[in-house]
Amino acid sequence: MSQLTASPTDRPLLSLMACVFTVFLLTGAALPALPLHIHDGLGFGPFAVGLVSGAQFASSLLCRLWSGTISDRRGPKFAVMAGLVMAVLAGLLYLVSLMAVGHPGLSMAILLAGRVLLGGAESFIMIGSQSWCLSLAGLGNVGKMIAWIGTAMFVALALGAPLGSFLFANFGFASIGLATFVGAAVTLLLVVSIPAIKPRPQSQKATKQVLKAVWIPGMAMAFSSLGYGIMTAFAVLLFVQRGWQPAWLSFTAFAASLMVARVLFGPLPDRLGGARTAMIFIVIHSAGLALIWLSSYAWLAFVGSAMAGFGYALVYPGLGMEAVARAPADARGLAMGVYTAFIDLALGIFAPLLGLVANVIGLGLIFLIAALLALCAVPIAMWLRSHPPHAPAVVG
């Protein structure tokens, strides 16, 4: 019976994972290249690097509620396709920014616009894909589906880092812009062929109920996601500064160990409970960040990166499972949008702020700060565990 019911959904699930993989492969390619392009090519400091990284998260934040609502009302396919169009435009702006490198301020402004579009693209693609998968898989597999979509994202980010380093070193930042444009356009053609899912009618009360249900797991995710933001924005710069090569391996170790954790332990939130799983993995994540700060050796810093990624692996699906379980069943896209918005809120504010702090105290100490802030999520997860959700509400 399971084989009969699984086969109709296998192809769409694999296609969605391929879509997420391709888009975030391109995003990952920019991770090692963008800080070096801004710092060495345009001549800006850590604050500007944090500002550009934060702009993407801020844009994602502004688009989360919008993307979740559109996914629920217009269908997840529409949301994914809208995100891919934004990614195509972001690649074009990357290329246009290079025409103004003689005027660093103008080039930075155009680059910021591209990052804003890419942030919106990521929001629409991730929320649409997650909502699509949840509709196909059902509530019994919420944690696993969130984990697998996230795994496709982080596998892509892990592979994208060495790809981006190669492209940037041999062909410059133009290759990153071209790859983003072409890759997003090809992926858009892939998504067109996937059958759409008819959206459910949504209650007018759904938004208020979602906000009330999701804000506590969202706050826990905000604290625990700061380490991810620090890794994406500052890990390459820190490793280059300390002479730890290859610097791109810092984020690749983070993403690769995250992938391993999700492959081996992806069903854990569905078995142990989301809050309990998150508590365990937050501690591992924080220990990895602290190890990067403490390390005097490259190999130990790479171990810290891997520990941080392994720990972060099941925090998002664990707390996401808590968010979905507390939200109305007809507003899962909105619930994931609101939940993920807390990540963007934290990173959109703290990435530039920690960049300013790094100018004063150095890059290393901000990894310790992120580790301590992540631990603030543990008591929140403990509260969630002691206050289990009621049966998911069906509104309308």
pLDDT single digits (tens) 78-115: 888 999 999 999 999 999 989 988 888 898 889 889 98
pLDDT of 372 higher than 90? yes
Give the CA angle between residues 313, 298, 170 to the nearest 5°. Answer: 85
Helix 226-241 with 46-74: angle, nearest 10 deg: 150
3-state secondary structure (DSSP) of residue 68: helix
The pLDDT value given to residue 278: 92
Take residue 105 and report the two structure tokens written for it. 């301020």
Q: Domain 2-386's class?
A: mainly alpha
**Distances from the Cα of 19 to the Cα of 53, 69, 175, 249, 379, angstroms:** 23, 21, 21, 24, 36
The pLDDT value given to residue 49: 76
Specify the higher pLDDT residue, 337 or 382. Answer: 382
pLDDT tens-digit readout, 167-211? 888 888 889 899 999 988 988 888 887 777 776 655 555 667 777
Instruction: State pTM to two decimals.
Output: 0.67
What beta strand segments (E) does the chain contain? none
**Distances from the Cα of 31 to the Cα of 25, 49, 95, angstroms:** 10, 11, 16
pLDDT tens-digit readout, 75-87? 888 888 999 999 9
DSSP state of 204: T
pLDDT tens-digit readout, 210-251? 777 888 998 999 998 888 888 877 888 888 888 888 887 888
The pLDDT value given to residue 393: 39
pLDDT tens-digit readout, 45-82? 777 777 776 777 678 777 776 777 788 778 888 888 99
- Nearest CA to 30 out of 220, 174, 195, 197 is that of 174
Give the CA angle between residues 105, 111, 115 to the nearest 5°. Answer: 140
Take residue 104 and report the two structure tokens written for it. 């660093």
The pLDDT of 138-158, averaged and rounded, is: 69
pLDDT tens-digit readout, 298-327? 899 999 999 999 999 889 888 988 887 887
- Nearest CA to 118 out of 14, 24, 237 is that of 24
Cα–Cα distance for residue pair 362/359, rounded to 1 Å: 6
Q: How confident is the model at residue 5 (pLDDT cuts 50, 70, 90)?
A: very low
Task: Determine the length of the chain.
Answer: 396
Residue 308: HSE in the Cβ half-sphere, 13 Å Cα cutoff = 35
Cα–Cα distance for residue pair 286/370, rounded to 1 Å: 8
pLDDT of 293 higher than 50? yes
Q: How confident is the model at residue 4 (pLDDT cuts 50, 70, 90)?
A: very low
The pLDDT of 23-40, averaged and rounded, is: 80
pLDDT of 283 higher than 70? yes
**Cβ 182 vs Cβ 18: under 8 Å:** no
| Residue 148, amino acid | W
Take residue 200 and report the two structure tokens written for it. 């459910």
The pLDDT value given to residue 143: 62
pLDDT tens-digit readout, 121-130? 888 888 888 7
pLDDT of 280 higher than 90? yes
| Residue 234, amino acid | F
**Cβ 136 vs Cβ 8: under 8 Å:** no
Q: 169-181 b/e with 16+ CB inside 10 Å = b?
A: eeeebebbbbbbb
pLDDT of 12 higher than 80? no
The pLDDT value given to residue 308: 95
**Distance from the first to the final alpha carbon of the chain:** 31
HEC string of 312-346 equals HCCHHHHHHHHHHHHCCHHHHHHHHHHHHHHHHHH
